[in-house]
Amino acid sequence: TRPIVIAPSILSSDFSRLGEEVAAVDRMGADWIHLDVMDGHFVPNITFGPPIVKAIRASSAKVFDCHLMIAPCDPYIEAFADAGCDIITVHAEATTHLDRSLQAIKATGRRAGVALNPSTPESVIQYVLDRLDLVLLMTVNPGFGGQAFIPSVVDKIRRVKAMIGDRPIDIEVDGGVTPETAPLVVAAGANALVAGSAVFKGGTPEHYERNMAAIRDA
Ligand code: DX5
Ligand code: ZN
């Protein structure tokens, strides 16, 4: 079993003080920093791109876990690698040639992940397992923070866990993760927990510390 990782999504942070917010969750116990990149095309919302990632890179030495919700994704992989992302995750639904996209990530020397929407069957990763460092299972439809956890994905976590066997692949869950839902996903086999609103609620570093501890303790 792989170590439990808490990855705050800065989507729920105060964007006017992004560098400070990243430094605050780093100091208060984040393992990874989760970066939600949205293009207004693959998902109905727009966030930020490589220049912002590059700007906040100086605020934390922790793993930058980049979740690309963009289509196409291949033309931007190198730019996100150069901006300082350590893990680059593409959506299976956003690329016609998933194997090629994963090879492009590996060619940058970064860790490669694939994300699946709640309705996407886990079978799409079957023939790329040996290229993967991470599988990101969405427990909300991507695009916004603060949505309700979709419980049917818990069964998919179990199936993915069985598929990966003893390969060194992280199973990450993203969307509606709280102290209430965290135990369900960990029991099913997830080890990396993304949380946006559940970490940033309260708005001060002391809140972030308590919020992350509550998820970890759960
Ligand atoms: C949704 C993003 C998530 C989101 C999670 O499209 O991928 O990372 O920020 O937010 P919460 O934890 O509030 O559901
Ligand atoms: Zn995300």
Structural domain total, the chain: 1
CA angle 5, 76, 150 (to 5 degrees): 45
> Is 109 part of any known ligand binding site?
no
Q: Is 176 close to ligand 1, i.e. is its CB under 6 Å away? A: yes
Expressed as residue numbers, the domain containing 18 is 5-217
> What ligand has the least distance to the C-alpha of 141?
1
Instruction: Return the residue matching tokens 């109905």.
Output: 44
pTM attached to this predicted model:
0.98
Q: Which residues are catalytic?
A: 36, 174
Q: Read off the pLDDT of each residue in 21-33 and give the average, rounded to a whole number.
A: 98
> What ligand has the least distance to the C-alpha of 134?
2
Summarised one tens digit per residue, pLDDT across range 106-155 is 999 999 999 999 999 999 999 999 999 999 999 999 999 999 999 999 99
Task: List the CATH number of the domain containing 157.
Answer: 3.20.20.70
Nearest CA to 194 out of 126, 115, 83 is that of: 115
Q: How far, in Å, from the CA of 194 to the mean position of ligand 2? A: 7
Q: Is 199 close to ligand 1, i.e. is its CB under 6 Å away? A: no
Summarised one tens digit per residue, pLDDT across range 61-110 is 999 999 999 999 999 999 999 999 999 999 999 999 999 999 999 999 99
